[in-house]
Amino acid sequence: MRRWIIALALILLLGSLIVWRIGQKRAETAARGSMQAARGKAPASRKVVVLVSRKKRSRPKPANSVWNRSPIPIESGHLE
């Protein structure tokens, strides 16, 4: 008899948890539906986008124009 009472108590506990969870899900679904209906009746929102031009960045000179300069002016191909 004692085993039957424990088994029945566990079944009732699990059954009540299942019923509670189903009630929570239904309430959540109803709330989601009312929010969706409210969004459907709301006026359309418009977004304003402001375009900002960026400043032109200075680029470094290419390596050829810097490295091809000689610190000593060479005119005829040999140093004096």
Residue 71: what pLDDT? 62
11-62 pLDDT per residue, tens: 999 999 999 999 999 999 999 999 988 888 888 777 777 777 767 767 666 5
Q: For residue 57, give the DSSP letter.
A: P
- Give the pTM: 0.46
pLDDT over 60 at 80, yes or no: no
Query: Average pLDDT in the 62-73 region?
Result: 58
57 CB-side CA count, 13 A: 3
Domain boundaries, the chain: 1-39
pLDDT over 60 at 77, yes or no: no
Measured over the CA atoms of residue 8, residue 14, residue 15 and residue 16, the dihedral's sign is positive
pLDDT over 60 at 64, yes or no: no
Reading the block at residue 80, the tokens are 């004096």
Q: For residue 53, give the DSSP letter.
A: P
Residue 63 identity (one-letter amino acid): A
